[in-house]
Amino acid sequence: MKKYAFVICAALVVWSFQATAQDASNEPLKNKKGILILPQTGEWGLGVAANPFLSYAGNALNGNTFNNTSFGFTSNPANIGNNLAIFGKYVKNESTHYRARFNVSVNTVIDKAVVAEDQLNPQPGFPAFTEDWRNTNSQTVILAAGIEKRRGSTRVQGFYGAEVVLGYFGQNIEFQYGNPISADFTFPTTNNFGNNFNGTTADGDLIRTTNRRVGKNFLAGARGFIGVEYFFAPRISLGGEFGYMLAVRTAGRTLTETESWNNGINGVLNTKIDSYTSGPTTIGIGLDNLSGSINLLFYF
């Protein structure tokens, strides 16, 4: 499917520039009712963009491969909630448009696990249970603003240009356990959520995470693009584009808080671990959407 989308978008781009070269008329394009089809100077465009560019930027913010276009938005609570962006344009004139896109996502994922309750004198045949919880809160913001130059006076418009991309990602994970750590239960029954076990102490007691604040990640990039926009109705268009982006990501320190039993103090020891998750700075460059992107815009 991605190969077909790529071929179709590429063919439309070529078609648009050919149509431009063949069109020698300066008359405004109208439909049969005499309504202008193309947007006019001073008008605004508003719509949505189903754009793999977001997955590319999402990968950058989360420290994954920069040009991984198959990034899953809904499978990971640490990333954008969807791959749709609000798309806005301002028509400066027939050959120049200003554009802006953004996606703001705030996600909360709550996981619950039922575990056996630790008891000094359990009653056979009457097991007791308690609950472990993991609360994951994440925020992702991606903004893009740029300028595009356009060619064509028919329904098919070719365009190219550049934009600046800015992004932010933050996450906090909190764990709550039904079975506390104590002198009687230095290795309490605990559900393994996959990211809450931190090994054992020298005495073999459990070390588990109580809170993890992922260091704030910031993204800055420059992106070039080329695409096509088809006006299938007056001031309503469907478009597609390809992009190439250079991005720099800075990652803050991640703070992990753990708890474990300590015989030296005869109590629970709370420890804070300060670390980088994937290095303080990462630079990446690549083609961000080989499958093409689809934009639906309304001008008014």
Q: What is the DSSP string of 72-91?
A: -SSS-TTS-S-SEEEEEEEE
Backbone angles phi, psi at 58, to 5 degrees: -65, -40
**In this structure, how many other beta carbons lie within 10 angstroms of the beta carbon of residue 235?**
17
How large is the average pLDDT for residues 210-228? 91
The mean predicted confidence, pLDDT, of the chain is 82
Residues in the chain: 300
User: How far apart are alpha carbons 160 and 146 in whole angstroms?
Assistant: 11
Query: Residues 6 or more apart from 123 whose CB is under 8 A from it?
Result: none
Element spanning 13, H or E: helix 2-22
Domain containing 189 equals 2-299
How large is the average pLDDT for residues 133-147? 93
Per-residue pLDDT for 77 more than 50? no
Query: Residues 6 or more apart from 260 whose CB is under 8 A from it?
Result: 181, 201, 205, 206, 207, 208, 268, 269, 271
Query: Residues 6 or more apart from 229 whose CB is under 8 A from it?
Result: 150, 156, 157, 159, 237, 238, 239, 295, 297
Q: What is the pTM of this model?
A: 0.72
> What is the per-residue pLDDT across 102-129, written as a single tens digit (0 to 9) for each?
888 888 999 999 999 999 999 888 999 9
pLDDT, residue 279, reads 65
Enter the tokens of residue 19: 């149509």
Q: How confident is the model at residue 71 (pLDDT cuts 50, 70, 90)?
A: very low
Counting the structural domains of the chain, the total is 1
* Angle at alpha carbon of residue 140, lines to 139 and 144, rounded to 5°: 150
pLDDT, residue 244, reads 84
Q: How confident is the model at residue 76 (pLDDT cuts 50, 70, 90)?
A: very low
Partners of 46 in the beta sheet?
88, 298
> What is the per-residue pLDDT across 252-272, written as a single tens digit (0 to 9) for each?
889 999 999 999 999 999 999
Per-residue pLDDT for 236 more than 80? yes
Spatial CA neighbour of 54 closest among 36, 76, 74, 80: 80
User: How far apart are alpha carbons 1 and 185 in whole angstroms?
Assistant: 55
Least confident of 24-33, 83-92, 249-258: 24-33
pLDDT, residue 241, reads 87
Q: Are strands 253-262 and 206-233 parallel, antiparallel or unpaired?
A: antiparallel
How large is the average pLDDT for residues 270-286? 78
Q: Please, where are the H alpha helices in the chain?
A: 2-22, 53-62
Per-residue pLDDT for 74 more than 60? no
